[in-house]
Amino acid sequence: MKKCHIIVIILTVFSLVVVPRAFAQSVEAKIHDAAAAAYPNDPRMQRFVYEKQMAAYRYMASVADQEVKNIAFAEYPEDYAMQKFTYDKQLSAKRYMATVVDTEVKRIALREYPNDYAMQKFTYDKQLSAKEYMATVQDGPAKRNALRQYPKDYSMQKFIYDQAFGQR
């Protein structure tokens, strides 16, 4: 029975130490090869790209929000620098969306972009601005027309209302 435990321990250590190291080495090789392909005659740019990608790879290996990490990876599976950029942008937008107060406008943003926090933030801000604008407009018939055409989209209401007056 002790032999079985020892084998399990050895396999566990192997999977925790050797396998990640081998994967990291293959990532390093892939990054190196991509940098060399992008800049075949420029060793300085190869080194710059390699270092930037490796730093981003290490950063992405340490991030905590798995949901946001998955979004970044799905968008840029082979580009760690873009994963880092996307992760930071999405995480910031996720935190922002957790603080918004207009639940009606938040529902619009969530409906439009259920899996993209950056687009939720963009949509929320755009819709909230349009909602506030529509609350101030005076022309009754133009406002009613805009509301009738787009009852659940303040941005389109604003567009229709402004179109009625030749504004944009």
Structure tokens at 110: 């969530």
Q: C-alpha angle 95/133/159, rounded to 5°? A: 100
First to last CA, the chain: 79
User: 125-149 pLDDT, tens per residue?
Assistant: 999 999 999 999 988 899 999 999 9
pLDDT above 60 for 19:
no
Considering only CA atoms, give the Rg of the chain. Answer: 25
Q: Is 92 left (phi over 0), alpha (psi -120 to 50) or beta?
A: alpha
Q: Token digits for 111? A: 């409906």
Q: Where do the domains of the chain lie?
A: 2-97, 103-164
Name the residue with higher pLDDT: 27 or 57.
Answer: 57
On the question of pLDDT at 18 being above 50, the answer is no
Mean pLDDT of 65-80: 97
pTM: 0.77
Buried b (16+ CB within 10 A) or exposed e, 126-153: bbbebbeebeebeeeebbebbeeebeeb
Tokens representing 61 are 């290996």
Residues 79/103, Cβ–Cβ less than 8 Å: no
pLDDT > 50? residue 100: yes
Q: Is 8 exposed, middle or buried (0-12, 13-18, 19+ CB in 10 A)?
A: exposed
